[in-house]
Chain A
Amino acid sequence: MDLLNHLALGFSVALTPINLLYCFIGSLLGTLIGVLPGIGPVATIAMLLPTTYALQPVSALIMLAGIYYGAQYGGSTTSILLNMPGETSSAVTCLDGHQMALQGQAGAALAIAALGSFFAGCVSTVFVATVAIPLSELALKFGPAEYFSLMVLGLIGAVVLAHGSLLKAIAMIILGLLLGIVGTDVNSGAARFAFGIPELTDGLGVVSVAMGLFGFAEIVTNLESVEKRELVTAKVKGLWLTMDQFRQAWPAVLRGTGLGSFLGLLPGGGAMLASFGSYALEKKLAKDPSRFGKGAIQGVAGPESANNAGAQTSFIPLLTLGIPENAVMALMVGAMTIHNIQPGPQVMTSNPSLFWGLVTSMWLGNLMLVVLNLPLIGIWIKLLTVPYRVLYPAILLFCAIGVYTISNASFDVSQTAAFGFLGVLFYKLECEPAPLLLGFVLGPMMEENLRRAMLLSRGDPSVFVTRPLSLVMLLMAVALVLLIAVPNLRKTREEAFAEES
């Protein structure tokens, strides 16, 4: 019955007119920006984060969650109609979704994406509410040594489950940690890596880092490659499914929801892993796998449900342990810190209305997306007909205004541009920026816990392996790295991500 009480408390917060309004604005803005080609959820959230600064913390987080789901859903729309994923998690939706659109089934593809996501959202909201309490109770038993090891495990897990070179990803994490500690050291008050620049003593801004690496770098690299877009608009009519399509799709929705909810919990998991996993699963289970890639509705229904479920359950490690598991959650940490909320197990007990309000608003946000997207699809399509050469300067403008108004400082804008340049370099050298962002937000926390653990053990580093929980987590991290080194498993990992290219 506790569950019902908590959900009731949550709804009493989320259903206040003002929070409903912010949830609505968030979903709307998120979809609006997310629909734009080449803008994924990280860039969308970074761009819209400044608009939430003036709000109450609860409203701000509810709005941000709305932005996240909106961006996710907007990305699916772009994938289906334009064959241009805004982010990796909707890349698989392109495969069959766009084929369906080409065959005049765009309406059905959009409808199943919306309904599948909504169903997944309902299930995973309950899942979040059930798992959150035991996990945060466990987390309250953690000392600094456990926390440090947990962060190591989280960071390693994040790169093992992501694609690309493991070595590079680990180096990117370390670089992120290093960038994270720029600014005044909380213990000694010494300014580190500030180069005498007063703005840098407050540290680098998470918005600048994320927007530069994900937003600006994306725009620059998009401009380098000549775009080839095939927009399917004329054929979008009848946003509904036939009985037959519904029969084919619902088992995929169920499986996608289950798989996605689980994969979303893992470090490095979340939306992207969930959608790739679900696509592979559906293809394997299908009676006729050759239909995949040619407009199979299961290929849209499964991944779309899975990525939404994963997007939602990836909040669990953040809300209960305080550990972000992917780039989007890293930005949420940044957002919470700005509102003076230290993410972690104490949020649930010290600020229950915020916690449960956020959980229930996840469900409301999903409901709004269905209500919003199906009728408004015409507007999103109109937006997609605007050529990229007109869109990208406008995106830059809103980013620039957003960063500038954080503290009315031109320094922040230049700093973002600098990270944009670094992002282009990383893109050229095939270094994924997501691990860097994770390291960046965890940097100060990791240093603090390392310090405390070593202080308590009087400088004896064996504390990390003598405390059982800490040892288990470190062993798991080592096991993950070793797994990747085993040739057989490496092959599976490469195959799992091969769908993308």
Chain B
Amino acid sequence: MGLIRHPKDFFAGLLFIAFGVGALVVGANYTLGTAARMGPGYFPRILGILLIVLGAVLSLRAMRLQGSPVSAFKWKPTVVVLGSVVVFGLIVEHLGLALSTVVLIVGASSASPEFRWKEALVSGIFFAALAIGVFVMGLKLQLPIWPVFLFAQ
């Protein structure tokens, strides 16, 4: 790591380069057009090149500037919190708002270092009732409350 003195800038630069390269590669077969009649590929190509240039400057500069290291990436809160949201989105139309809410609340709660099963379960049931009251009964949103397959004709 002797060469990279400013890890945050260095990796940010790499991230921008990656997006820039992605834009050029994915956008390679979009019609470019001319400066007077720009096709769909013109503007993204400019942006992609700019991103690569800026990213490269950032990364190269990171070998001269001094900066603090990137704090360790903690996978647990990231994966658990975001994962439980994704799961909620996938199951809500099948299992209904009540069960999905309990799944989301208990799942997301487990990311906290102070996680308690009982408390999470109680809060899950409480917020399920609240969500049904507010969103389904109050705002009349089209969301099933209970598992759909139980009530299929």
Residue numbers of A with Cβ under 8 A of B are 51, 165, 167-168, 170-171, 174-175, 177-178, 181, 185, 187-188, 190, 192-193, 195, 216, 219-220, 223-224, 226, 387-390, 392-394, 396-401, 403-405, 408, 410-414, 416-417, 420-421, 424-425, 428-431, 447, 450-451, 454-455, 457-461
Contact = CB atoms under 8 A, between A and B. Distances in A.
B44 A416 contact: no
A174 B77 CA distance: 29
Contact of B36 (A181, A392, A424, A455): A455
Interface residues of B, number: 70
B40 A389 contact: no
Interface in B107-151: 108-109, 111-115, 119-120, 123-124, 127, 131, 135, 139, 141-143
Given A397-B105, A455-B37, A389 B112 contact: yes
Contacts of A393: 104-106, 108-109, 120, 123-124, 127
A394 B93 contact: no
Nearest to A410: B89
B12 A431 contact: yes
**Most chain A beta-carbon contacts within 10 A, residue among B50, B93, B124:** B50
Contacts of A450: 38, 43
B44 A181 contact: yes
A187 B141 CA distance: 35
A170 B105 contact: no
B48 A404 contact: no
A404 B86 CA distance: 10
B104 A224 contact: no
A404 B89 contact: yes
**Most chain A beta-carbon contacts within 10 A, residue among B16, B27, B101, B127:** B16
A170 to B, nearest CB: 6
Nearest to A461: B35
A389 B114 contact: yes
Nearest to A54: B139
Interface of B: 8-9, 11-12, 15-16, 19, 23, 26-27, 30-31, 34-40, 43-44, 47-48, 50-51, 54-55, 57-58, 61, 70-71, 73-74, 77-78, 81-86, 88-90, 92-93, 97, 101, 104-106, 108-109, 111-115, 119-120, 123-124, 127, 131, 135, 139, 141-143
A204 to B, nearest CB: 14
B104 A171 contact: no
Contacts of B30: 190, 192
A387 B89 CA distance: 26
Given A168-B58, A389-B114, A412-B89, A396 B84 contact: yes
Given A178-B23, A417-B82, A165 B92 contact: no
Nearest to A396: B108
A224 B105 contact: no
B135 A165 contact: no
Contacts of B61: 167
Contacts of B114: 387, 389
Contacts of B40: 185, 187-188, 190, 192
A482 to B, nearest CB: 17
Given A405-B135, A412-B89, A181 B16 contact: no
A431 B139 CA distance: 37
A459 B42 CA distance: 12
A171 B123 contact: no
A451 B38 contact: yes
Given A394-B123, A397-B104, A447-B43, A429 B89 contact: no
Contacts of A425: 15
7 contacts: A165-B9, A390-B119, A393-B105, A397-B88, A414-B89, A417-B86, A429-B11
A416 B85 CA distance: 9
B16 A410 contact: no
B77 A220 contact: yes
A171 B16 contact: yes
A471 to B, nearest CB: 19
A-B interface, 8 closest residue pairs, ranked by CB to CB distance from nearest = A413-B89, A459-B36, A459-B35, A410-B89, A393-B108, A223-B77, A185-B40, A429-B12
A192 B48 CA distance: 13
Contact of B12 (A168, A390, A394): A168
B46 to A, nearest CB: 9
Nearest to A188: B40
Given A167-B54, A396-B104, A454 B38 contact: yes
Given A193-B26, A220-B78, A188 B108 contact: no
B85 A396 contact: yes
